[in-house]
Amino acid sequence: MIIYLKDKHTLIVDDFEFKCCVGKKGKSKRKIEGDKKTPIGLFGVENLYYRSDRITKPQTKLRCVKINKKMGWCDDVNSSKYYNKLVKNKNKIKQEKLYRKDNKYDLIIPIKYNFSKPIKSKGSCIFIHLTKNYSPTAGCIALSKKDFLIMLKLIDNKTKINIY
């Protein structure tokens, strides 16, 4: 299955069209760290990470990982070892904390952009996550919780996302 980001407000999954939001500065083929753009291309999806203290394990074929207080995603361009990877909270490296006070990361799926052999400064932490108000993101794609839960029932670990 392929998920299509039709435009900056529409995500197509199977026969469903979901309202979404993307990076504040739109989409780009030349993504760089911190540019607030969503990368263009065809990418795989990773595991589902979820806050088990807020949400019961959703129905999905993706591998599910409970988010804990020590989890982060490295966005430190000076860390070639950890850049764009899941990390335990380390004070020495810059990271996006996954255990947040708001609900944006109650459900997240990392998009496999700049993923297997990450190139520093090319961009990190590109997620599909939750939104309540559809305001622009820092480069991720965000959906309502209701739509996210529907999407989870349709996708699996072979799913790709086509951002164009």
Complete domains list, the chain, with CATH:
2-163 (2.40.440.10)
At residue 92, the pLDDT reads 81
Q: First vs last Cα of the chain: how many Å apart? A: 16
Cα 4–Cα 104–Cα 47 angle in degrees, nearest 5: 55
pLDDT in tens for each of the 164 residues of the chain? 999 998 899 999 999 999 999 999 999 999 999 999 999 999 999 999 999 999 999 999 999 999 999 999 999 999 888 999 999 987 688 999 999 999 999 999 999 999 999 999 999 999 999 999 999 999 999 999 999 999 999 999 999 999 99
Whole-model pTM: value is 0.94
Distance CA 84, CA 81 (A): 9
Percent of the chain scoring above 90 in pLDDT: 93
How far is Cα 7 from Cα 9, in angstroms, rounded to an integer? Answer: 5
Residue 137's DSSP bridge partners are 23
